Structure 1
Protein backbone atom coordinates (compact mmCIF):
# COMPACT_ATOMS: atom_id res chain seq x y z
CA UNK A 1 0.00 0.00 0.00
CA UNK A 2 2.84 2.41 0.86
CA UNK A 3 4.46 1.81 -2.52
CA UNK A 4 1.18 2.57 -4.28
CA UNK A 5 0.93 5.86 -2.34
CA UNK A 6 4.43 6.81 -3.54
CA UNK A 7 3.60 6.06 -7.16
CA UNK A 8 0.26 7.87 -6.90
CA UNK A 9 1.96 10.93 -5.37
CA UNK A 10 4.24 11.16 -8.41
CA UNK A 11 1.23 10.66 -10.68
CA UNK A 12 -0.49 13.64 -9.04
CA UNK A 13 2.60 15.79 -9.53
CA UNK A 14 2.62 14.95 -13.24
CA UNK A 15 -0.94 16.29 -13.48
CA UNK A 16 0.01 19.46 -11.62
CA UNK A 17 2.57 20.49 -14.25
CA UNK A 18 0.20 20.98 -17.24
CA UNK A 19 -2.39 22.65 -14.99
CA UNK A 20 0.13 25.17 -13.68
CA UNK A 21 1.52 25.71 -17.18
CA UNK A 22 -1.97 26.57 -18.45
CA UNK A 23 -2.54 28.80 -15.42
CA UNK A 24 0.75 30.59 -16.12
CA UNK A 25 -0.45 31.30 -19.66
CA UNK A 26 -3.75 32.71 -18.37
CA UNK A 27 -2.06 34.87 -15.70
CA UNK A 28 0.66 35.96 -18.14
CA UNK A 29 3.38 34.82 -15.75
CA UNK A 30 4.65 31.41 -14.55
CA UNK A 31 5.64 33.09 -11.27
CA UNK A 32 2.05 34.20 -10.65
CA UNK A 33 0.97 30.65 -11.45
CA UNK A 34 3.39 29.30 -8.84
CA UNK A 35 2.19 31.82 -6.25
CA UNK A 36 -1.46 30.93 -6.76
CA UNK A 37 -0.60 27.22 -6.69
CA UNK A 38 1.32 27.57 -3.41
CA UNK A 39 -1.45 29.70 -1.88
CA UNK A 40 -4.23 27.25 -2.77
CA UNK A 41 -2.12 24.36 -1.50
CA UNK A 42 -1.45 26.15 1.79
CA UNK A 43 -5.13 26.84 2.52
CA UNK A 44 -6.06 23.28 1.49
CA UNK A 45 -3.52 21.79 3.92
CA UNK A 46 -4.52 24.19 6.72
CA UNK A 47 -8.15 23.10 6.30
CA UNK A 48 -7.15 19.44 6.57
CA UNK A 49 -4.98 20.17 9.59
CA UNK A 50 -7.70 21.93 11.59
CA UNK A 51 -10.50 19.57 10.54
CA UNK A 52 -8.41 16.55 11.57
CA UNK A 53 -8.15 17.95 15.09
CA UNK A 54 -4.49 17.03 15.46
CA UNK A 55 -2.70 17.91 18.67
CA UNK A 56 -0.98 21.29 18.60
CA UNK A 57 2.78 21.19 19.11
CA UNK A 58 4.81 24.05 20.59
CA UNK A 59 6.75 25.33 17.56
CA UNK A 60 9.13 27.34 19.76
CA UNK A 61 10.22 24.19 21.58
CA UNK A 62 10.67 22.37 18.28
CA UNK A 63 12.71 25.26 16.89
CA UNK A 64 14.99 25.64 19.92
CA UNK A 65 15.71 21.92 20.28
CA UNK A 66 16.35 21.03 16.65
CA UNK A 67 18.67 22.16 13.83
CA UNK A 68 17.78 25.17 11.70
CA UNK A 69 17.43 23.18 8.49
CA UNK A 70 14.11 21.57 9.50
CA UNK A 71 12.29 24.76 8.39
CA UNK A 72 13.85 25.01 4.92
CA UNK A 73 11.73 22.48 3.00
CA UNK A 74 9.48 25.19 1.56
CA UNK A 75 12.43 27.29 0.38
CA UNK A 76 13.97 24.29 -1.41
CA UNK A 77 10.61 23.63 -3.05
CA UNK A 78 10.47 27.19 -4.40
CA UNK A 79 14.07 26.93 -5.67
CA UNK A 80 13.21 23.70 -7.48
CA UNK A 81 10.00 25.07 -9.00
CA UNK A 82 11.51 28.41 -10.04
CA UNK A 83 14.63 26.75 -11.44
CA UNK A 84 12.49 24.51 -13.66
CA UNK A 85 10.82 27.62 -15.06
CA UNK A 86 14.23 29.21 -15.79
CA UNK A 87 15.87 26.01 -17.10
CA UNK A 88 13.21 25.15 -19.64
CA UNK A 89 14.27 27.73 -22.29
CA UNK A 90 17.96 27.09 -21.52
CA UNK A 91 18.00 23.28 -21.55
CA UNK A 92 14.88 22.27 -23.41
CA UNK A 93 12.14 19.93 -22.25
CA UNK A 94 14.13 16.66 -22.23
CA UNK A 95 17.13 17.82 -20.22
CA UNK A 96 14.89 19.79 -17.84
CA UNK A 97 13.22 16.48 -16.96
CA UNK A 98 16.22 14.14 -16.96
CA UNK A 99 18.99 16.13 -15.24
CA UNK A 100 17.08 16.96 -12.01
CA UNK A 101 16.05 13.29 -11.80
CA UNK A 102 19.73 12.29 -11.70
CA UNK A 103 20.26 14.68 -8.79
CA UNK A 104 17.16 13.38 -6.99
CA UNK A 105 18.17 9.73 -7.28
CA UNK A 106 21.80 10.29 -6.25
CA UNK A 107 20.89 12.48 -3.27
CA UNK A 108 18.18 10.06 -2.16
CA UNK A 109 20.77 7.27 -2.03
CA UNK A 110 23.29 9.49 -0.21
CA UNK A 111 20.70 10.49 2.42
CA UNK A 112 19.80 6.85 3.11
CA UNK A 113 23.38 5.56 3.08
CA UNK A 114 24.77 8.15 5.50
CA UNK A 115 21.60 8.84 7.50
CA UNK A 116 21.58 12.55 6.67
CA UNK A 117 18.88 14.81 8.13
CA UNK A 118 18.42 12.32 10.98
CA UNK A 119 17.15 9.62 8.65
CA UNK A 120 17.77 5.94 9.54
CA UNK A 121 21.05 4.66 8.05
CA UNK A 122 20.55 2.10 5.29
CA UNK A 123 22.91 -0.35 3.60
CA UNK A 124 23.93 0.25 0.00
CA UNK A 125 23.99 -3.27 -1.46
CA UNK A 126 25.00 -4.40 -4.93
CA UNK A 127 21.37 -5.23 -5.69
CA UNK A 128 20.29 -1.70 -4.79
CA UNK A 129 23.01 -0.21 -7.00
CA UNK A 130 21.79 -2.36 -9.89
CA UNK A 131 18.24 -1.21 -9.15
CA UNK A 132 19.29 2.46 -9.19
CA UNK A 133 21.11 2.02 -12.51
CA UNK A 134 18.07 0.20 -13.90
CA UNK A 135 15.86 3.09 -12.76
CA UNK A 136 18.05 5.64 -14.56
CA UNK A 137 18.08 3.38 -17.61
CA UNK A 138 14.29 3.10 -17.57
CA UNK A 139 13.90 6.86 -17.30
CA UNK A 140 16.36 7.33 -20.17
CA UNK A 141 14.38 4.90 -22.34
CA UNK A 142 10.95 6.34 -21.42
CA UNK A 143 11.95 9.99 -21.86
CA UNK A 144 15.03 10.32 -24.08
CA UNK A 145 14.74 7.41 -26.51
CA UNK A 146 10.98 7.84 -26.78
CA UNK A 147 11.58 11.46 -27.81
CA UNK A 148 14.78 11.00 -29.83
CA UNK A 149 13.71 13.34 -32.61
CA UNK A 150 12.94 16.08 -30.09
CA UNK A 151 16.34 15.46 -28.46
CA UNK A 152 18.13 15.98 -31.79
CA UNK A 153 16.23 19.19 -32.46
CA UNK A 154 16.99 20.59 -28.99
CA UNK A 155 20.67 19.65 -29.29
CA UNK A 156 21.07 21.78 -32.40
CA UNK A 157 19.40 24.73 -30.67
CA UNK A 158 21.42 24.46 -27.45
CA UNK A 159 24.94 23.67 -28.73
CA UNK A 160 25.63 27.37 -29.37
CA UNK A 161 25.02 28.31 -25.71
CA UNK A 162 28.41 28.61 -24.00
CA UNK A 163 26.80 28.49 -20.52
CA UNK A 164 24.93 25.26 -21.20
CA UNK A 165 27.13 23.13 -18.91
CA UNK A 166 26.57 25.51 -16.00
CA UNK A 167 22.81 25.14 -16.44
CA UNK A 168 23.21 21.35 -16.62
CA UNK A 169 25.12 21.25 -13.34
CA UNK A 170 22.51 23.51 -11.75
CA UNK A 171 19.75 21.18 -12.96
CA UNK A 172 21.37 18.21 -11.21
CA UNK A 173 21.87 20.31 -8.07
CA UNK A 174 18.24 21.45 -7.85
CA UNK A 175 17.22 17.82 -8.29
CA UNK A 176 19.27 17.08 -5.19
CA UNK A 177 17.46 19.95 -3.44
CA UNK A 178 14.15 18.24 -4.21
CA UNK A 179 15.29 15.01 -2.54
CA UNK A 180 16.54 17.00 0.47
CA UNK A 181 13.17 18.75 0.69
CA UNK A 182 11.38 15.41 0.96
CA UNK A 183 13.77 14.27 3.72
CA UNK A 184 13.38 17.54 5.64
CA UNK A 185 9.59 17.48 5.41
CA UNK A 186 9.59 13.88 6.61
CA UNK A 187 11.76 14.77 9.61
CA UNK A 188 9.66 17.84 10.44
CA UNK A 189 6.51 15.74 10.32
CA UNK A 190 8.05 13.36 12.84
CA UNK A 191 9.03 16.21 15.18
CA UNK A 192 5.60 17.84 14.96
CA UNK A 193 3.82 14.48 15.30
CA UNK A 194 1.89 15.62 12.24
CA UNK A 195 2.62 15.02 8.57
CA UNK A 196 -0.06 17.56 7.65
CA UNK A 197 1.54 20.15 9.94
CA UNK A 198 4.88 19.61 8.21
CA UNK A 199 3.28 20.07 4.81
CA UNK A 200 1.50 23.25 5.98
CA UNK A 201 4.77 24.82 7.13
CA UNK A 202 6.53 23.80 3.93
CA UNK A 203 3.83 25.29 1.72
CA UNK A 204 3.37 28.42 3.82
CA UNK A 205 7.08 29.27 3.82
CA UNK A 206 7.20 28.58 0.09
CA UNK A 207 4.24 30.90 -0.44
CA UNK A 208 5.98 33.74 1.41
CA UNK A 209 9.14 33.33 -0.66
CA UNK A 210 7.37 33.20 -4.04
CA UNK A 211 5.16 36.17 -3.00
CA UNK A 212 8.27 38.29 -2.49
CA UNK A 213 9.67 37.18 -5.86
CA UNK A 214 6.41 38.04 -7.67
CA UNK A 215 6.18 41.48 -6.04
CA UNK A 216 9.76 42.27 -7.03
CA UNK A 217 9.55 40.99 -10.59
CA UNK A 218 5.93 41.32 -11.72
CA UNK A 219 4.91 44.34 -9.57
CA UNK A 220 1.28 43.15 -9.72
CA UNK A 221 -0.21 40.02 -8.15
CA UNK A 222 -2.96 39.71 -10.76
CA UNK A 223 -3.22 40.95 -14.36
CA UNK A 224 -5.90 43.59 -14.91
CA UNK A 225 -7.44 41.87 -17.92
CA UNK A 226 -7.96 38.42 -16.34
CA UNK A 227 -11.31 37.58 -14.70
CA UNK A 228 -11.18 34.62 -12.34
CA UNK A 229 -14.92 33.84 -12.71
CA UNK A 230 -14.49 33.09 -16.42
CA UNK A 231 -11.82 30.41 -15.88
CA UNK A 232 -12.50 26.66 -15.49
CA UNK A 233 -12.37 25.36 -11.89
CA UNK A 234 -9.71 22.73 -12.64
CA UNK A 235 -7.28 25.54 -13.51
CA UNK A 236 -6.91 26.26 -9.78
CA UNK A 237 -6.44 22.68 -8.56
CA UNK A 238 -2.68 22.49 -9.19
CA UNK A 239 -1.94 23.66 -5.66
CA UNK A 240 -4.10 20.88 -4.19
CA UNK A 241 -2.25 18.25 -6.23
CA UNK A 242 1.10 19.69 -5.14
CA UNK A 243 -0.05 19.75 -1.51
CA UNK A 244 -1.06 16.09 -1.69
CA UNK A 245 2.36 15.26 -3.16
CA UNK A 246 4.23 17.04 -0.35
CA UNK A 247 1.96 15.44 2.26
CA UNK A 248 2.45 11.96 0.79
CA UNK A 249 6.24 12.17 0.53
CA UNK A 250 6.53 13.59 4.07
CA UNK A 251 4.46 10.62 5.24
CA UNK A 252 6.52 8.05 3.33
CA UNK A 253 10.10 9.20 4.00
CA UNK A 254 10.22 8.06 7.65
CA UNK A 255 8.67 4.72 6.67
CA UNK A 256 10.42 3.87 3.39
CA UNK A 257 13.51 6.09 3.45
CA UNK A 258 14.39 9.00 1.18
CA UNK A 259 15.81 6.84 -1.61
CA UNK A 260 12.75 4.62 -2.07
CA UNK A 261 10.36 7.58 -1.71
CA UNK A 262 12.22 9.48 -4.44
CA UNK A 263 12.28 6.35 -6.64
CA UNK A 264 8.53 5.79 -6.31
CA UNK A 265 7.55 9.43 -6.82
CA UNK A 266 9.79 9.79 -9.88
CA UNK A 267 8.43 6.60 -11.43
CA UNK A 268 4.87 7.71 -10.76
CA UNK A 269 5.63 11.13 -12.25
CA UNK A 270 7.02 9.66 -15.48
CA UNK A 271 4.06 7.27 -15.79
CA UNK A 272 1.65 10.11 -15.04
CA UNK A 273 3.17 12.42 -17.66
CA UNK A 274 2.81 9.68 -20.28
CA UNK A 275 -0.85 9.09 -19.32
CA UNK A 276 -1.59 12.83 -19.41
CA UNK A 277 -0.08 13.06 -22.89
CA UNK A 278 -1.90 9.92 -24.11
CA UNK A 279 -5.33 11.33 -23.26
CA UNK A 280 -4.56 15.03 -23.62
CA UNK A 281 -5.73 15.87 -20.11
CA UNK A 282 -5.89 19.52 -19.03
CA UNK A 283 -5.91 20.72 -22.64
CA UNK A 284 -2.39 19.38 -23.19
CA UNK A 285 -1.04 18.12 -26.51
CA UNK A 286 -2.00 14.48 -27.21
CA UNK A 287 0.85 12.01 -27.76
CA UNK A 288 0.18 8.29 -28.09
CA UNK A 289 2.10 5.92 -25.81
CA UNK A 290 4.85 4.08 -27.69
CA UNK A 291 6.40 0.65 -27.17
CA UNK A 292 9.64 2.32 -26.13
CA UNK A 293 7.85 4.16 -23.32
CA UNK A 294 6.22 0.93 -22.14
CA UNK A 295 9.66 -0.74 -22.04
CA UNK A 296 11.00 2.20 -20.01
CA UNK A 297 8.12 1.92 -17.53
CA UNK A 298 8.73 -1.82 -17.18
CA UNK A 299 12.39 -1.15 -16.37
CA UNK A 300 11.38 1.38 -13.70
CA UNK A 301 8.98 -1.11 -12.08
CA UNK A 302 11.73 -3.73 -12.06
CA UNK A 303 14.12 -1.23 -10.46
CA UNK A 304 11.66 -0.60 -7.62
CA UNK A 305 11.56 -4.33 -6.87
CA UNK A 306 15.37 -4.56 -6.83
CA UNK A 307 15.77 -1.52 -4.55
CA UNK A 308 13.08 -2.85 -2.19
CA UNK A 309 14.58 -6.33 -1.80
CA UNK A 310 18.25 -5.33 -2.20
Structure 2
Protein backbone atom coordinates (compact mmCIF):
# COMPACT_ATOMS: atom_id res chain seq x y z
CA UNK A 1 0.00 0.00 0.00
CA UNK A 2 2.87 2.36 0.82
CA UNK A 3 4.45 1.75 -2.60
CA UNK A 4 1.14 2.50 -4.34
CA UNK A 5 0.70 5.80 -2.50
CA UNK A 6 4.34 6.69 -3.15
CA UNK A 7 3.97 5.94 -6.88
CA UNK A 8 0.88 8.14 -7.16
CA UNK A 9 2.63 10.87 -5.18
CA UNK A 10 5.66 11.07 -7.50
CA UNK A 11 3.33 11.49 -10.46
CA UNK A 12 1.57 14.36 -8.70
CA UNK A 13 5.03 15.83 -8.03
CA UNK A 14 5.52 16.26 -11.79
CA UNK A 15 2.25 18.18 -12.17
CA UNK A 16 3.19 20.43 -9.24
CA UNK A 17 6.72 20.96 -10.60
CA UNK A 18 5.37 22.18 -13.93
CA UNK A 19 3.01 24.64 -12.22
CA UNK A 20 5.81 25.94 -9.98
CA UNK A 21 8.28 26.36 -12.86
CA UNK A 22 5.63 28.24 -14.85
CA UNK A 23 5.27 30.70 -11.95
CA UNK A 24 9.06 31.03 -11.69
CA UNK A 25 9.09 32.08 -15.34
CA UNK A 26 6.71 34.95 -14.55
CA UNK A 27 9.39 36.49 -12.35
CA UNK A 28 12.52 35.74 -14.39
CA UNK A 29 10.71 36.29 -17.75
CA UNK A 30 12.86 33.87 -19.74
CA UNK A 31 11.69 30.22 -20.00
CA UNK A 32 15.33 29.23 -20.51
CA UNK A 33 16.38 30.93 -17.29
CA UNK A 34 13.49 29.31 -15.39
CA UNK A 35 14.55 25.89 -16.71
CA UNK A 36 18.18 26.60 -15.84
CA UNK A 37 17.27 27.45 -12.25
CA UNK A 38 15.11 24.33 -11.92
CA UNK A 39 17.83 22.03 -13.32
CA UNK A 40 20.55 23.66 -11.20
CA UNK A 41 18.52 23.31 -8.00
CA UNK A 42 17.81 19.68 -8.91
CA UNK A 43 21.52 19.08 -9.57
CA UNK A 44 22.47 20.51 -6.17
CA UNK A 45 19.78 18.40 -4.49
CA UNK A 46 20.98 15.17 -6.15
CA UNK A 47 24.63 15.98 -5.43
CA UNK A 48 23.94 16.54 -1.73
CA UNK A 49 21.86 13.36 -1.58
CA UNK A 50 24.61 11.23 -3.13
CA UNK A 51 27.32 12.77 -0.94
CA UNK A 52 25.25 12.05 2.17
CA UNK A 53 24.81 8.45 1.02
CA UNK A 54 28.59 8.08 0.74
CA UNK A 55 28.54 7.39 -3.00
CA UNK A 56 31.37 8.73 -5.21
CA UNK A 57 30.42 11.49 -7.66
CA UNK A 58 33.13 11.16 -10.29
CA UNK A 59 33.17 8.91 -13.36
CA UNK A 60 36.44 7.21 -14.37
CA UNK A 61 37.89 8.75 -17.56
CA UNK A 62 38.37 5.37 -19.25
CA UNK A 63 34.70 4.54 -18.71
CA UNK A 64 33.67 7.92 -20.13
CA UNK A 65 35.79 7.42 -23.27
CA UNK A 66 34.77 3.80 -23.84
CA UNK A 67 31.03 4.45 -24.16
CA UNK A 68 29.09 5.79 -27.17
CA UNK A 69 28.84 9.58 -27.01
CA UNK A 70 25.03 9.71 -27.02
CA UNK A 71 24.82 7.92 -23.68
CA UNK A 72 25.97 11.08 -21.85
CA UNK A 73 23.55 13.44 -23.60
CA UNK A 74 20.16 12.44 -22.17
CA UNK A 75 20.04 15.62 -20.10
CA UNK A 76 19.84 17.74 -23.25
CA UNK A 77 16.49 16.19 -24.12
CA UNK A 78 15.31 16.76 -20.57
CA UNK A 79 16.41 20.41 -20.64
CA UNK A 80 14.48 21.05 -23.85
CA UNK A 81 11.42 19.17 -22.60
CA UNK A 82 11.15 21.05 -19.30
CA UNK A 83 11.53 24.38 -21.15
CA UNK A 84 8.72 23.40 -23.51
CA UNK A 85 6.52 22.47 -20.53
CA UNK A 86 7.11 25.91 -19.00
CA UNK A 87 6.01 27.47 -22.30
CA UNK A 88 2.99 25.15 -22.61
CA UNK A 89 1.54 25.68 -19.14
CA UNK A 90 0.08 29.18 -19.68
CA UNK A 91 -1.01 28.27 -23.23
CA UNK A 92 -2.77 24.93 -22.62
CA UNK A 93 -3.33 24.71 -18.88
CA UNK A 94 -2.25 22.04 -16.44
CA UNK A 95 -4.21 19.10 -17.86
CA UNK A 96 -3.16 19.43 -21.51
CA UNK A 97 0.40 20.24 -20.47
CA UNK A 98 0.37 16.81 -18.83
CA UNK A 99 -1.44 14.74 -21.47
CA UNK A 100 0.24 15.94 -24.66
CA UNK A 101 3.75 14.96 -23.49
CA UNK A 102 2.30 11.65 -22.26
CA UNK A 103 1.07 11.00 -25.79
CA UNK A 104 4.51 11.83 -27.20
CA UNK A 105 6.24 9.64 -24.62
CA UNK A 106 3.94 6.71 -25.41
CA UNK A 107 4.46 6.96 -29.17
CA UNK A 108 8.23 7.39 -28.99
CA UNK A 109 8.73 4.70 -26.34
CA UNK A 110 6.89 2.21 -28.55
CA UNK A 111 9.13 3.10 -31.50
CA UNK A 112 12.24 2.80 -29.33
CA UNK A 113 11.09 -0.58 -28.04
CA UNK A 114 10.16 -1.85 -31.50
CA UNK A 115 13.40 -0.88 -33.22
CA UNK A 116 15.74 -1.21 -30.23
CA UNK A 117 17.06 2.34 -30.55
CA UNK A 118 19.73 3.54 -28.08
CA UNK A 119 20.75 -0.06 -27.40
CA UNK A 120 17.38 -0.79 -25.80
CA UNK A 121 15.77 -4.24 -25.71
CA UNK A 122 13.43 -4.87 -28.64
CA UNK A 123 9.72 -5.49 -28.13
CA UNK A 124 7.67 -5.99 -31.28
CA UNK A 125 4.22 -4.50 -31.82
CA UNK A 126 1.57 -6.90 -30.50
CA UNK A 127 -2.18 -6.67 -30.10
CA UNK A 128 -1.97 -5.21 -26.60
CA UNK A 129 0.33 -2.40 -27.74
CA UNK A 130 -1.79 -1.58 -30.79
CA UNK A 131 -4.97 -1.53 -28.68
CA UNK A 132 -3.16 0.45 -25.98
CA UNK A 133 -2.05 3.22 -28.33
CA UNK A 134 -5.58 3.37 -29.79
CA UNK A 135 -6.96 3.93 -26.29
CA UNK A 136 -4.34 6.59 -25.56
CA UNK A 137 -5.29 8.46 -28.74
CA UNK A 138 -9.00 8.15 -27.91
CA UNK A 139 -8.35 9.39 -24.39
CA UNK A 140 -6.43 12.42 -25.65
CA UNK A 141 -9.25 13.24 -28.07
CA UNK A 142 -11.89 13.05 -25.33
CA UNK A 143 -9.78 15.10 -22.93
CA UNK A 144 -9.53 18.04 -25.35
CA UNK A 145 -12.77 17.56 -27.34
CA UNK A 146 -14.93 19.59 -24.96
CA UNK A 147 -12.93 22.76 -25.54
CA UNK A 148 -12.88 22.28 -29.30
CA UNK A 149 -16.67 21.81 -29.35
CA UNK A 150 -17.15 25.10 -27.50
CA UNK A 151 -14.95 26.95 -29.97
CA UNK A 152 -16.75 25.45 -32.95
CA UNK A 153 -20.08 26.76 -31.68
CA UNK A 154 -18.87 30.30 -32.44
CA UNK A 155 -16.37 29.91 -35.30
CA UNK A 156 -15.21 33.52 -35.48
CA UNK A 157 -11.91 34.43 -37.09
CA UNK A 158 -10.35 34.97 -33.67
CA UNK A 159 -11.52 31.55 -32.45
CA UNK A 160 -10.13 29.86 -35.55
CA UNK A 161 -6.77 31.54 -35.03
CA UNK A 162 -6.77 30.53 -31.37
CA UNK A 163 -7.63 26.93 -32.28
CA UNK A 164 -4.74 26.82 -34.75
CA UNK A 165 -2.34 28.16 -32.11
CA UNK A 166 -3.66 25.61 -29.62
CA UNK A 167 -2.95 22.75 -32.03
CA UNK A 168 0.55 24.07 -32.73
CA UNK A 169 1.26 24.10 -28.99
CA UNK A 170 -0.19 20.59 -28.67
CA UNK A 171 2.20 19.33 -31.33
CA UNK A 172 5.03 21.02 -29.45
CA UNK A 173 3.83 19.22 -26.31
CA UNK A 174 3.91 15.86 -28.09
CA UNK A 175 7.46 16.68 -29.22
CA UNK A 176 8.44 17.38 -25.60
CA UNK A 177 7.10 13.96 -24.63
CA UNK A 178 9.14 12.30 -27.38
CA UNK A 179 12.28 14.00 -26.09
CA UNK A 180 11.47 12.78 -22.58
CA UNK A 181 11.11 9.21 -23.86
CA UNK A 182 14.49 9.48 -25.58
CA UNK A 183 16.00 10.83 -22.35
CA UNK A 184 14.54 7.91 -20.38
CA UNK A 185 15.93 5.37 -22.86
CA UNK A 186 19.40 6.96 -22.83
CA UNK A 187 19.46 7.28 -19.05
CA UNK A 188 18.39 3.66 -18.75
CA UNK A 189 21.48 2.61 -20.68
CA UNK A 190 23.62 5.02 -18.67
CA UNK A 191 22.34 3.49 -15.43
CA UNK A 192 23.46 0.06 -16.64
CA UNK A 193 26.92 1.40 -17.52
CA UNK A 194 27.33 3.21 -14.19
CA UNK A 195 25.55 0.45 -12.22
CA UNK A 196 23.54 3.17 -10.52
CA UNK A 197 20.32 4.92 -11.53
CA UNK A 198 21.07 7.72 -9.06
CA UNK A 199 24.40 8.44 -10.73
CA UNK A 200 22.73 8.37 -14.13
CA UNK A 201 20.21 10.95 -12.87
CA UNK A 202 23.05 13.13 -11.57
CA UNK A 203 24.80 13.02 -14.96
CA UNK A 204 21.52 13.85 -16.71
CA UNK A 205 20.88 16.85 -14.45
CA UNK A 206 24.48 18.04 -14.84
CA UNK A 207 24.30 17.90 -18.64
CA UNK A 208 20.87 19.53 -18.64
CA UNK A 209 21.95 22.35 -16.32
CA UNK A 210 25.14 22.97 -18.31
CA UNK A 211 23.18 23.03 -21.58
CA UNK A 212 20.71 25.56 -20.18
CA UNK A 213 23.47 27.78 -18.76
CA UNK A 214 24.95 27.99 -22.27
CA UNK A 215 21.52 28.58 -23.87
CA UNK A 216 20.71 31.41 -21.44
CA UNK A 217 24.09 32.99 -22.18
CA UNK A 218 23.45 32.84 -25.93
CA UNK A 219 19.72 33.66 -26.04
CA UNK A 220 19.25 36.02 -23.10
CA UNK A 221 22.85 37.26 -22.82
CA UNK A 222 22.28 37.94 -19.15
CA UNK A 223 21.68 36.09 -15.89
CA UNK A 224 20.66 39.14 -13.89
CA UNK A 225 16.95 38.25 -13.83
CA UNK A 226 17.77 35.49 -11.34
CA UNK A 227 17.48 38.19 -8.65
CA UNK A 228 14.02 39.36 -9.76
CA UNK A 229 12.08 36.90 -7.54
CA UNK A 230 13.92 38.33 -4.52
CA UNK A 231 13.27 41.91 -5.59
CA UNK A 232 9.57 41.20 -6.14
CA UNK A 233 9.16 39.17 -2.94
CA UNK A 234 8.16 36.02 -4.79
CA UNK A 235 6.77 33.13 -2.72
CA UNK A 236 9.46 30.77 -1.42
CA UNK A 237 8.02 27.73 -3.20
CA UNK A 238 8.95 28.94 -6.70
CA UNK A 239 12.51 27.73 -6.01
CA UNK A 240 11.66 24.10 -5.22
CA UNK A 241 10.73 22.86 -8.70
CA UNK A 242 14.20 21.38 -9.14
CA UNK A 243 14.05 19.63 -5.76
CA UNK A 244 10.74 18.04 -6.77
CA UNK A 245 12.33 16.89 -10.04
CA UNK A 246 15.28 15.36 -8.19
CA UNK A 247 12.98 13.69 -5.66
CA UNK A 248 10.91 12.26 -8.53
CA UNK A 249 14.01 10.61 -9.98
CA UNK A 250 15.18 9.15 -6.66
CA UNK A 251 11.76 7.82 -5.66
CA UNK A 252 11.31 6.39 -9.16
CA UNK A 253 14.54 4.43 -8.75
CA UNK A 254 13.34 3.07 -5.40
CA UNK A 255 9.92 2.01 -6.74
CA UNK A 256 11.29 0.31 -9.86
CA UNK A 257 13.32 -1.95 -7.57
CA UNK A 258 10.30 -2.59 -5.36
CA UNK A 259 7.37 -3.08 -7.74
CA UNK A 260 8.87 -3.05 -11.25
CA UNK A 261 8.95 -0.54 -14.09
CA UNK A 262 5.47 -1.18 -15.50
CA UNK A 263 3.57 -0.63 -12.26
CA UNK A 264 5.72 2.39 -11.39
CA UNK A 265 4.88 4.01 -14.74
CA UNK A 266 1.14 3.38 -14.32
CA UNK A 267 1.02 4.72 -10.76
CA UNK A 268 3.10 7.78 -11.65
CA UNK A 269 0.90 8.47 -14.68
CA UNK A 270 -2.24 8.23 -12.54
CA UNK A 271 -0.70 10.62 -10.04
CA UNK A 272 0.43 13.04 -12.73
CA UNK A 273 -3.00 13.24 -14.32
CA UNK A 274 -4.75 13.52 -10.95
CA UNK A 275 -2.31 16.23 -9.87
CA UNK A 276 -2.80 18.19 -13.08
CA UNK A 277 -6.59 18.01 -12.63
CA UNK A 278 -6.29 19.40 -9.09
CA UNK A 279 -3.92 22.18 -10.19
CA UNK A 280 -6.26 23.30 -12.96
CA UNK A 281 -9.53 22.87 -11.05
CA UNK A 282 -8.41 24.82 -7.98
CA UNK A 283 -5.90 27.15 -9.64
CA UNK A 284 -3.09 25.95 -7.38
CA UNK A 285 0.24 27.82 -7.30
CA UNK A 286 -1.38 30.92 -8.82
CA UNK A 287 -2.22 29.05 -12.03
CA UNK A 288 -5.28 29.71 -14.18
CA UNK A 289 -8.39 28.01 -12.79
CA UNK A 290 -10.55 26.01 -15.22
CA UNK A 291 -13.61 23.86 -14.68
CA UNK A 292 -12.92 20.16 -15.37
CA UNK A 293 -15.61 18.36 -17.37
CA UNK A 294 -16.67 14.73 -16.89
CA UNK A 295 -15.77 13.86 -20.48
CA UNK A 296 -12.22 15.06 -19.81
CA UNK A 297 -11.94 12.86 -16.72
CA UNK A 298 -13.28 9.91 -18.72
CA UNK A 299 -10.76 10.61 -21.46
CA UNK A 300 -7.91 10.59 -18.95
CA UNK A 301 -9.11 7.26 -17.55
CA UNK A 302 -9.13 5.84 -21.08
CA UNK A 303 -5.56 7.10 -21.52
CA UNK A 304 -4.46 5.33 -18.34
CA UNK A 305 -6.09 2.12 -19.55
CA UNK A 306 -4.18 2.41 -22.82
CA UNK A 307 -0.84 2.94 -21.12
CA UNK A 308 -1.65 0.02 -18.80
CA UNK A 309 -2.08 -2.28 -21.79
CA UNK A 310 1.21 -1.09 -23.29
CA UNK A 311 3.32 -1.26 -20.12
CA UNK A 312 1.93 -4.21 -18.18
CA UNK A 313 1.01 -6.91 -20.70
TM-score (norm 1): 0.81
- What's the RMSD between the two structures over aligned residues? 3.5
Distance 1:234 1:32 in 2: 17
Match of 1:76 in 2: 77
Task: From the superposition, tell whether residues 129 and 268 of structure 1 become closer, same or farther in structure 2 (CA, over 3 Å).
Answer: farther
Task: From the superposition, tell whether residues 107 and 252 of structure 1 become closer, same or farther in structure 2 (CA, over 3 Å).
Answer: farther
Task: From the superposition, tell whether residues 176 and 250 of structure 1 become closer, same or farther in structure 2 (CA, over 3 Å).
Answer: farther
Match of 2:239 in 1: 236
Match of 1:32 in 2: 33
Q: Which segment drifts farther, 189-198 or 165-174?
A: 165-174
Deviation readout 1:90-110 (Å, 9 max, x if unpaired): x86687666544332111112
Task: From the superposition, tell whether residues 104 and 151 of structure 1 become closer, same or farther in structure 2 (CA, over 3 Å).
Answer: farther
Deviation readout 1:18-54 (Å, 9 max, x if unpaired): 1111111122322221111111110001111111123
1:1-310 equivalences in 2 (<5 Å)? 7-54=8-55, 58-84=59-85, 99-142=100-143, 144-148=144-148, 156-158=160-162, 172-223=174-225, 226-227=229-230, 230-247=233-250, 255-256=260-261, 265-310=268-313
SS in 2 for 1:230: coil
Does the Cα contact within 8 Å between 1:74 and 1:201 map onto a contact in 2? yes
Distance 2:239 2:76 in 1: 22
SS in 1 for 2:224: coil
Distance 2:169 2:294 in 1: 31
- Give the Å deviation of 1:168: 6.9
Deviation readout 1:98-124 (Å, 9 max, x if unpaired): 654433211111222233223232243
Distance 2:176 2:194 in 1: 26
SS in 2 for 1:121: coil
Task: From the superposition, tell whether residues 95 and 180 of structure 1 become closer, same or farther in structure 2 (CA, over 3 Å).
Answer: same
Distance 2:231 2:41 in 1: 14
Deviation readout 1:262-281 (Å, 9 max, x if unpaired): 66655543322111122332
- Give the Å deviation of 1:6: 5.4
- Give the Å deviation of 1:189: 1.7
Task: From the superposition, tell whether residues 129 and 178 of structure 1 become closer, same or farther in structure 2 (CA, over 3 Å).
Answer: same
Which ranges of structure 2 fall in alignment gaps of 5 or more residues? none
Task: From the superposition, tell whether residues 250 and 119 of structure 1 become closer, same or farther in structure 2 (CA, over 3 Å).
Answer: farther
- Give the Å deviation of 1:243: 2.0
Give the paired residue count. Answer: 304
- Give the Å deviation of 1:182: 0.9
